[in-house]
Amino acid sequence: MRVKFAVAGALALILAASASAKDVVIHAGTLIDGTGGAPRRQVSILIHDDRIRAIQSGFVTPAGAEVIDLSQKTVLPGLIDTHVHIMATWHGGDPIRLAVTTSDYDTLIDGVNDARATLLAGFTAIRDVGDSTTAVVALKKAVAAGTIPGPRMWVSGAALGPTGGHGDPANGLLPEFGEIPGWRQNLIDSPEEARTTVRRMWRAGVDLIKIMPSGGVMSIGDDPKLQLMEDDEIKAVIETAHSLGMKVAAHAHGKQAIDHTIALGVDSIEHGSYADADSYKLFKQHGTYLVPTMLVGQRVYERAKTHPEQLNPSTAAKALVIGPLLQKNLHDAHAAGVKIAFGTDTFGLSAHGENAQEFAIEVAAGMTPMEAILTATRNAADLIGASADIGSVQPGRYADIIAVTDDPLQQVRALERVDFVMKGGTVVKAGGKPI
């Protein structure tokens, strides 16, 4: 085996050396670099191959460098969405019909299109927190290899949760559906099952673990307010994942599930609907991120009002309660100084590629446009654990760079109209059109 790896390594080195090195300079009219610093006017971003080499004041053109003129634009780091389901699509709703008529192959093909749409919208990295494990790992590998276009991906594979919880696809169905082998794979009902399953997920190639300590909205019948995983199960997941170098994201609506999961050391709380002042203290004490997922909250709420027949009856009822809570929660969490990372929970109710609509909702909840931008750049990269590579325009980072025409600090919805996208030094969209 050693010999095989050594040969493969040598081959990779030869291939890398033979690829011609490329120097590019971007002339940026305004640069918002994603570090939280003030915007800079008229700077040059020097790029060598797939990384940023330097930032210089004024418009400079090193000999031999290709110039990309963004002198009339605002330039930012590629955006990062830390809560998507890249292979999930709506297809008219009805989760039961979808569950029994859709294979992993179907969802993988949807994922190929959705990955491209997300990248072209300016999102050069995503954290996928719940999709078929083998399919999403395959999608991630294909994007990383350059076989298909898409954002850089950090994936959890299927979410882990208890029998009858938010991640149990057999909720609300006849008992025999609960015995379908593929549907049982990610149900954990003891600390022992938690450890084994986390290790199995790691072996399958995931980057992080997603758990479901509370009930949810889209699932049938379970109660978002209740803590449905026991503390010892949550603890076993977090300890095992951390021992393998993986972070843990927790879907949690109810206060008890939020507070307990933070105290047990989780890295992010997704949704967080019923958090209160004491919860915010815990967030800050443990350095835990909140991923507020406002866009999905708004879209499910609207659908429950206008087309409840497209949702399971229990989902429609839950959405009418949870939607407004998410708004209040983000406002209060932000005011309390909780760390917030951008996440839309895009699974098709808002289309893949509409992710940037989250920014305006963040601003409506009390953030400045700059704070909203930082949730999708600096903070998102920090939550993922990849600040050395993504989330800012600084020397050493990947050349993941976008540009917009209007000033997003004046009108944050400018980020919904991304003109230019570069990922790893390769331009994938220019002049508002895919390359």
Size, binding site for Zn ion by CB under 5 A: 1
Of 28 and 126, nearer to Zn ion (C-beta) is: 126
> What is the nearest approach in angstroms of Zn ion to the Cβ of residue 127?
11
Query: According to CB under 5 A, which residues from 101 to 120 bind Zn ion?
Result: none
Segment near Zn ion (CB under 5 A), from 107-115, 171-179, 327-335, 338-346? Answer: 338-346
* Residue that has been written with the tokens 């399919």 in this structure: 135
Q: Which of residues 255-284 bind Zn ion (CB under 5 A)?
A: none
Q: What ranges make up the beta strands (E) of 35-146?
A: 40-48, 51-57, 66-77, 79-84, 123-128
Q: Which stretch binds Zn ion (CB under 5 A): 86-94, 106-114, 337-345, 416-424?
A: 337-345
Q: Classify 419 as helix, strand or coil.
A: strand
DSSP string, 283-334: HHHHTPEEE--HHHHHHHHHHHHH-GGGS-HHHHHHHHHHHHHHHHHHHHHH
Largest CA distance in the chain: 70
Residue 210 annotated to the active site: yes
Looking at the Cβ atoms of 86 and 390, the one nearer to Zn ion is: 86
User: Which has the closest alpha carbon to 231: 266, 202, 277?
Assistant: 266
- The continuous run of DSSP H or E covering 231 comes out as helix 231-243
33 vs 345 by CB, closer to Zn ion: 345
Q: Please provide residue 310's backbone torsions phi and psi, each rounded to the nearest 5 degrees.
A: -80, -10
Task: Indicate the residue among 110 and 345 with the shorter CB distance to Zn ion.
Answer: 345
Residue 293 CB, nearest distance to Zn ion (Å)?
Answer: 7
Query: Which residue from 377, 369, 375 is spatially nearest to 408, judged by alpha carbons?
Result: 369
Whether residue 408 contacts residue 391, with contact meaning beta carbons closer than 8 Å, is answered with no
Residue nearest to Zn ion (CB): 345
Binding mask 287-326 for Zn ion (x = CB under 5 A): ----------------------------------------
Q: Both tokens of residue 278? A: 């004491």
Residue 407 annotated to the active site: no
Q: For Zn ion, which is the closer residue by CB, 222 or 345?
A: 345
By CB under 5 A, tell whether 362 contacts Zn ion.
no
Identify the CA nearest to 319 among candidates 216, 166, 217, 220: 217
Q: Which helix (H) or strand (E) holds 81?
A: strand 79-84
Judged by CB, which is closer to Zn ion: 24, or 356?
Answer: 356
Using CB under 5 A as the binding rule, whether residue 128 contacts Zn ion is answered as no
If one asks whether residue 345 binds Zn ion (CB under 5 A), the answer comes out as: yes
Min. distance of Cβ 343 from Zn ion in angstroms?
8
Catalytic residue among 110, 128, 131, 210: 210
Query: What minimum distance in Å lies between the beta carbon of 51 and Zn ion?
Result: 32
| Smallest separation (angstroms) from Zn ion to the CB of 22 | 38
Q: What's at 377, amino acid-wise?
A: T
Q: Rule CB under 5 A: which residues touch Zn ion?
A: 345
The catalytic site residues sit at 210, 345
